[in-house]
Chain A
Amino acid sequence: ELKVEQNPLFLSMQEGKNYTIYCNYSTTSDRLYWYRQDPGKSLESLFVLLSNGAVKQEGRLMASLDTKARLSTLHITAAVHDLSATYFCAAGSGGSEKLVFGKGTKLTVNP
């Protein structure tokens, strides 16, 4: 059974600082996703990672995937207040379209 663990679950950081959110998964996965959720809203897709060593960047966010370590990271560079949200990673495996979500990381960026 595929399980996904994220840490930290809560992250409070100052503007301008860097930090990394970690996402571990338990069994082989062939795709890893990062989503953002603002309070009271649905999920917005950020990144799709499909292969070992994949790295994708969008603005101040960069996601990477290490399939051998079963680990994905979401790195935040020079955080700004607008990045405050909850970030979820999700993994899928095999031919199933189902995704298993991590518990989410609530990020608060303080001025």
Chain B
Amino acid sequence: GAVVSQHPSWVICKSGTSVKIECRSLDFQATTMFWYRQFPKQSLMLMATSNEGSKATYEQGVEKDKFLINHASLTLSTLTVTSAHPEDSSFYICSVPGQGSSPLHFGNGTRLTVT
């Protein structure tokens, strides 16, 4: 069964509005979760590391005030895209580290379209 649950699977919103994406670790507690963004036909780019109990760590070039991350509990991280613009349209995927060297477990992704 799924290890990581991501919701919603897809969302369409208007420019200027905000969208929240949830990522839940179903099988185990996760002090760390990762948020990736994937533009069409491109690779995954790490946006930020979500840390339970502390601030998220953002990758270079990612606006922390635009992409708000909240690691509310050991099983839930949320990504809020604030004041969305069409260029924010992308596939957002969260992931949870596996145990030890186990591979990352990925959510099913959220397809965001900003009109």
Whether B109 lies near A42 (C-beta < 8 A) is yes
Whether B109 lies near A88 (C-beta < 8 A) is no
In the assembled complex, A25 has its CB within 8 A of some CB on chain B: no
Whether A103 lies near B42 (C-beta < 8 A) is yes
Whether B109 lies near A31 (C-beta < 8 A) is no
Which residue of A43, A48, A103 contacts B106 across the interface (Cβ within 8 Å)? A43
Which residues of B are found within 8 Å of A50, using beta-carbon distances?
101
Which residue of A30, A33, A40 contacts B103 across the interface (Cβ within 8 Å)? A33
Which residue of A30, A41, A100, A106 contacts B109 across the interface (Cβ within 8 Å)? A41
Are A97 and B32 CB-contacts (below 8 A) given A42-B107, A103-B43? Answer: yes
Minimum Cβ distance to chain B for residue A93 (Å): 12
Interface string of A68-95 (1 = CB under 8 A from B): 0000000000000000000010000000
Whether A42 lies near B108 (C-beta < 8 A) is yes
Minimum Cβ distance to chain B for residue A18 (Å): 25
Minimum Cβ distance to chain A for residue B54 (Å): 15
Interface string of A34-75 (1 = CB under 8 A from B): 010000111101001010000000000000000000000000
In the assembled complex, A99 has its CB within 8 A of some CB on chain B: yes
Smallest Cβ-Cβ distance to A44: which chain B residue: B106
Are A48 and B101 CB-contacts (below 8 A) given A43-B106, A88-B44, A101-B44? Answer: yes
Instruction: Tell me which of A35, A43, A106 has the highest count of chain B C-beta atoms within 10 A of its own C-beta.
Output: A43
Which residues of A are found within 8 Å of B97, using beta-carbon distances?
97
C-alpha spacing A33/B93, complex, angstroms: 17
Minimum Cβ distance to chain A for residue B25 (Å): 13
* Cross-chain pairs A/B with CB under 8 angstroms, 8 sampled: A33-B104, A43-B44, A45-B103, A48-B103, A98-B46, A98-B49, A104-B43, A106-B41
- Known contacts A33-B103, A48-B102; 12 additional CB pairs below 8 A are A40-B111, A41-B108, A43-B106, A45-B104, A45-B105, A50-B101, A97-B32, A97-B104, A98-B34, A98-B46, A100-B46, A103-B42
Residues of A within 8 A of B (CB): 30-31, 33, 35, 40-43, 45, 48, 50, 88, 97-104, 106
